[in-house]
Structure 1
Amino acid sequence: MTKKQLSVIIAVMILVSIIISAATFTGAVLYMKNSDPNATDSMSQMFSFNSEPKPAQPSFHQLEKLVLSVKGQRQTHFVMLELAVETRFPEEIQEIDNYMPVVRNSLLKLFSNKTYEQLQQERTIDSLQEEVKNTLLDAFADTQFAKHIDDVLFTKYVIQ
């Protein structure tokens, strides 16, 4: 057998191998589509390089209670906050309790710029809740938590 004949045989073997692989893949896709109506979702998940799909129901993780001081015109006041983190990946948020010093520090910085009078204004809770969410997302920017926090909810908010 000459080198030319050997090269032709190897090229034919590679071509046949590619054709068989393509046919097998196409057959598997068609089989999965015909056997399960949700197969297109499973196929896109199987061959997707994106992160895992979000579960349908949100989950809530309660954080420790925080007591912060704020300046008033005549005296110092206190704000007590209880927060819950909304997530669709509860298993990814379990370790957030170990980061409470980060949460406390970032919220202490946020509330140090607030006054009692500002916090007493009407419709403050909605804007404050958004500020707290953004503050926590910034604080967790370098961790895996940031991408799994959907919302931050106030479960208790007391100004004294």
Structure 2
Amino acid sequence: MHATSHHARIHMASTTANPPADKPASSGKFKRIALIAVIALGAAAAAAAGMYVFMGRQGATHASAEPAPLAAPVFFPLDPLTVNLQSDDGVQHYLRVGLSLKLTDPKAQEQLTARMPEIRSRVLLALSNKHPEDIATPDGKQALAQQLRNLIEEPTQPGNQRTKVDDVLFTEFVVQ
């Protein structure tokens, strides 16, 4: 029996010796998991901060590359024009037209005003080459507005830049 109790003591000794050994192993696992979690959280925070900084800088660069939001458009009225139209029927036809230019570039009105005599001449020549049938339909009027826009935007001197006109609007349109 003595041998059995010795064996029981060993067993007891080993069972009492094992729990303290288990605690440090369990404590080491916990520390390792906690360390990994802290590193992962730190990496996530660094990634988030990096994204914020990168997106902020990219947004600032992107914003500076684009022009500032445009102000409300300016409508620049031109003096009304009256022209003779081309006629195949032997009857004299006239066109009286009022135009207003829609502009969003603040400098465009100054540029157009400086070139107004040349612009009016271009518009008069283009209008006087039209037949009444050409401008009788909505599609014909729309095509005329686009043609006039191109003529008005076109530089009057070589080397000058185009002046941006967003739209040509008819404020008066009478064919007789």
Q: Same fold (TM over 0.5)?
A: yes
Question: Secondary structure of the equivalent of 1:90?
Answer: coil
Q: Deviations over 1:89-135 (max 9, x none)?
A: 23432342232221222122212321123222453211211121122
1:58 and 2:76 aligned? no
In structure 1, stretches of 5+ residues that fail to align are 1-28, 34-38
Q: Which residue of 1 aligns with 2:94?
A: 78
Q: Does 1:96 align with 2:145?
A: no
1:3-18 alignment runs, 5 A limit: none
2:139 matched to 1:120? no
Q: Is the 8 A contact 2:103 2:167 kept in 1?
A: yes
- The code of the aligned residue for 2:81 comes to L
Aligned counterpart in structure 2 of residue 129 of structure 1, from 145, 150, 156: 145
The answer to whether the Cα contact below 8 Å between 2:115 and 2:156 also exists between their aligned partners in 1 is: no
In structure 2, what is the Cα distance between the partners aligned to 1:105 and 1:159? Answer: 20
With normalisation by structure 2, the TM-score equals 0.55
Q: Distance in 1 between matches of 2:163 and 2:59?
A: 22
Structure 1 CA distance, aligned partners of 2:82 and 2:60? 46
CA–CA separation in structure 2 for the residues paired with 1:41 and 1:140: 38
Which of 62, 72, 84 is equivalent to 1:44?
62
Structure 2 unmatched runs, 5+: 1-51
Over the matched positions of the two proteins, sequence identity in percent amounts to: 22
The amino acid across from 1:63 in the alignment is: L
CA contact (8 A) 2:99 2:168 kept: yes
**Structure 1's 113 and 127: CA in aligned 2 closer, same or farther, altered over 3 A?**
same
Measure how far apart 1:74 and its partner are. 2.0
The structure carrying a bigger helix percent of its residues is 2
Q: Are the structure 2 counterparts of residues 150 and 122 from structure 1 closer, same or farther at C-alpha, using a change threshold of 3 Å?
A: closer
Equivalent residues of 1:87, 1:149 under 8 A apart: yes
The normalised TM-score by structure 1 is 0.60
Aligned twin of 1:155: 171
Q: Which has the larger radius of gyration?
A: 2
